[in-house]
Structure 1
Amino acid sequence: MNEKASSNRTVRWIRKIGFWGFLFFLIKGLLWLAAGYFIIK
């Protein structure tokens, strides 16, 4: 029972980190594309 609860908590934590990590890299990627566009322009 205890092992299952800690596993569930870990999965929830990984999902939250994954969501914020995805947002972070998405925004970072868009900023790099915008920076490259303005440098070339």
Structure 2
Amino acid sequence: MLKNGRANAVRFTTPEAMCRMLECQPVDLPEWVPDDEEER
């Protein structure tokens, strides 16, 4: 699942559905930034 960090992949339909719901383009979706220096 995306929200708990256990996703291994994202299907192409996931960002499409998110963009339809948020009325945005894929480039507008947030970028993941690690909380901890060790994760970088």
Could you tell me the TM-score, scaled by structure 2's length? 0.31
* Larger fraction in helix: 1
Rg comparison, structure with higher value: 1
Normalized against structure 1, the TM-score is what?
0.30
